[in-house]
A and B are shown apart, each in its own frame.
Chain A
Amino acid sequence: MAPSDYTPLILSLKVAAISTTIVFVTGIFFAHLFARKQFFGKSLIESFFLLPLVLPPTVVGFGLLLLFGKNGWLGKWLLEWFDVQIVFSWIGAVIASIVVSFPLMYQSAAAAFENVDGRLENAARTMGASNWRVFWTIAFPLAWPGLLAGLVLSFARGLGEFGATLMLAGYIPGKTDTIPMAIYFAVESGHMEKATFWVIIIVALGFSTITWLNWWSKRNMRRFANEKGR
């Protein structure tokens, strides 16, 4: 039953890991930047951030093709100046994953930072702590549960991304065939056993990721609570 080729597994993990890392950092950056700030156009920018969540993957894929295609606005420039081709490459799969999972990370992080008591941060500042230190010692630890939820969801969403990926990264066996892609084409060609194999793998992967992160966060929460109590 097992397929001879395991590239979909390795590729999916690589794509989801890279996109989650990027989304985790940028999501936190923008969420923290915008938290408790009101300025003209904030809700417009936030709506733009969250747009991929409500758009069908085909629309996201179409937009990415217009942007990163060989004749696309950004794609043309990247090709001419850096000789980098995004379309039909695994980097295309990473970009598609980033775009669809960013809203989940941003949303979780924004809600988490808004729940942090601003007086604690101000108290730290009056005692001379730098913004950087305030962030790492107060905002980040207190927001951690929400940030972790965003991390888990982004990873899961990145792992499962299909529609936009098919349009931007194409289906090149051994190069851009992530697990969802392998499942889709196995079903289309009637290879139900192969499809079932990959379905089991991705379910196991999703399940173990969430279980591990939950266990890990519980352990860390306990340690955090102990440190505070000391």
Chain B
Amino acid sequence: MQRTLFFLLMSCCFVLLEGCGKEEGNDQGAIERSEIMVSAAASLTDALTELQTTFENEHTDIQVRFNFGSSGKLATQIEKGAPADVFLSASEQDMDRLEKADLINPESRINFTENTLVLIANEDAKNSAVSFEDIKPSSLQHFAIGDPESVPAGRYSKEVLVKLGLWELLQGKLVYGSDVRQVLTHVEMGNADYGIVYSSDAAISKQVKVLASADESWHTPIEYPGAVLSKTEHAEQAQAFLDFVQGEEGKAVLRKYGFQ
């Protein structure tokens, strides 16, 4: 028995050590005076990363850090007190949640860009559908969308599939991504036959082809609201970043990455 306990304890140490590794890197920073944390929708990853360099060159006293993820997750994190100064959401719904809870400064709230949904397949896929209506649920194995509960792209995708009468037929074949970029990966690697992502996501990938665009009347308009959080200690710098994103340079970069 003693030996059993010893093995258990020893091996538990291994497991615990492994667990510790995952927590690193989250709590660094935030001590520096002019560092701002931007919680942004995963779909904005590439555009914002490019904007960051330009912004920091113009505002040498501000350092921008990003926390990318699904807007639903980011909103939950902020509700639970995660440090952030700016929230750039891929859906009005998640921003509304924070506004109702007085977690954002309502005056700073602004829709800074829009996006569209596209149907994608792997570059090497054969006999793919040519439109949304052309999708045959019986002849496909896996269809990737974002998790409709937490990923805005997934919620819009669900609206489209419901509208087209495909939702029920695709049950059991829908693979939910934890954010929209995971949906892209599933299709890029050829593991899902189809996926629905933003046109901006499809634009950055060479391994997928766009089969069709979703009609805008099929889903809630995809607006990207941004706001400064009410608990920020760097309101001025946060506002400066938000202004920059919706300014001329911001708009140009967003357009380059497939946003409107």
Contact = CB atoms under 8 A, between A and B. Distances in A.
B178 A171 contact: yes
A146 B191 CA distance: 40
A56 B255 CA distance: 36
Contact of B150 (A70, A166, A188): A188
A189 to B, nearest CB: 3
A217 B4 contact: yes
- Tell which of B11, B147, B175 has the most Cβ of chain A within 10 Å: B11
A210 to B, nearest CB: 8
Contact of A172 (B1, B72, B174, B190): B174
What size tier do the contact residues of chain B reach? 35 or more
B191 A111 contact: no
Nearest to B147: A185
A69 B176 CA distance: 17
A107 interface: yes
Interface stretch (B15-23, B84-92, B108-116): B15-23
Contacts of B174: 172-173
B176 A170 contact: yes
Contacts of B141: 85, 88
Interface in B6-20: 7-8, 11-12, 14-15, 18
Interface stretch (A28-36, A125-133, A148-156): A148-156
B75 A190 contact: yes
Nearest to B142: A88
13 contacts: A54-B18, A56-B22, A65-B189, A69-B190, A107-B11, A145-B7, A153-B8, A171-B178, A172-B174, A174-B172, A184-B178, A190-B72, A190-B75
Interface of A: 53-54, 56, 65, 69-71, 85, 87-88, 104, 107-108, 111-112, 115, 145-146, 148-150, 152-153, 157, 166, 170-175, 184-185, 187-191, 214, 217-218, 221
Interface of B: 1, 3-4, 7-8, 11-12, 14-15, 18, 21-22, 70, 72-73, 75-76, 79, 97, 141-142, 144, 147, 149-150, 171-178, 186, 189-192
